[in-house]
Chain A
Amino acid sequence: GQNIDQPTEMTATEGAIVQINCTYQTSGFNGLFWYQQHAGEAPTFLSYNVLDGLEEKGRFSSFLSRSKGYSYLLLKELQMKDSASYLCAVNRGSYIPTFGRGTSLIVHP
C-alpha cells in the first residue's frame, strides 16, 4: 500500500511564493504527479517527476527526492487564479496513480 500526506490548507499573498509539500510511502514507485483542481472542476495535469531533482515549467516547479519519499510544488508570482486544490499523486507499479487528499491553496490580495 501507500500513504500520501499533504497539508490540508495553505494561504499566501498575491505575488508571493508558496511551497506545497507531499510525502509518500510506497512500493513500486514509478513517478509522482501534481494536478491542479479548481473548485467544482476536474483535476488538470501540472507536472510529472520520476528522477530526483527540480523540473521547472513557467511559474510552477516540482521537486522530487526518491530517497526521502518527498516532493514539493513551488508556485512563484502567485496570482488570484492560483487559488485551487493541488493534488499529489504517486504512480504505483502498474502506472496507476494514487492521489493524496490535496492541499487547498487560498491566495489573497
Chain B
Amino acid sequence: DAGVIQSPRHEVTEMGQEVTLRCKPISGHDYLFWYRQTMMRGLELLIYFNNNVPIDDSGMPEDRFSAKMPNASFSTLKIQPSEPRDSAVYFCASRAATQGPSGELFFGEGSRLTVL
C-alpha cells in the first residue's frame, strides 16, 4: 500500500494568498483526519471525516479554514486568506473503522506551510 499521500510537501506563500493542501488516504480507510502541528501547541485536530462526511470541525481555527472530502480517495484543506500565524506542518491521517478504538492512525508525511 502506498500509505497516506499529501501534497505539497512544502509551500511558501505570502500573507493573503489562498493555500490548498491535498490528501489521499489509504484505500479502504473510513476515517480521515486533518491535524496541525506547531512547536507551541503540538498536534491539534482540525477536522475529521467519516465516510466522506465531516463529523467534527470544532478544531478549525476560524472561517478562513475549510475542508472537503468529495470522495473516499481525496480531501482538501483550504486556507483563504492565509496569515503568518497559519505557518505550521499540516498532517493528514487515515484509519479503518474495522480496526475499532485501538486502531492506529496512519499519517502522511505532512505539508510544511510557511506564510510570509
A interface, CB within 8 angstroms of B: 30-31, 33, 35, 41-45, 48, 50, 87, 91, 94-102
Contacts and interface: CB of A to CB of B under 8 A. Distances in A.
Given A87-B42, A96-B45, A99-B44, 19 more contacts: A30-B101, A42-B91, A42-B108, A42-B109, A42-B110, A43-B91, A44-B107, A45-B105, A48-B104, A91-B101, A95-B100, A97-B45, A97-B105, A98-B45, A99-B35, A99-B42, A99-B43, A101-B43, A102-B43
A29 B26 CA distance: 27
Interface of B: 33, 35, 41-45, 48, 55-56, 91, 100-105, 107-110
Contacts of B33: 96
A100 B45 CA distance: 11
A96 B110 CA distance: 19
Contact of B42 (A42, A96, A101): A101
Chain A contact residues, majority secondary structure: loop
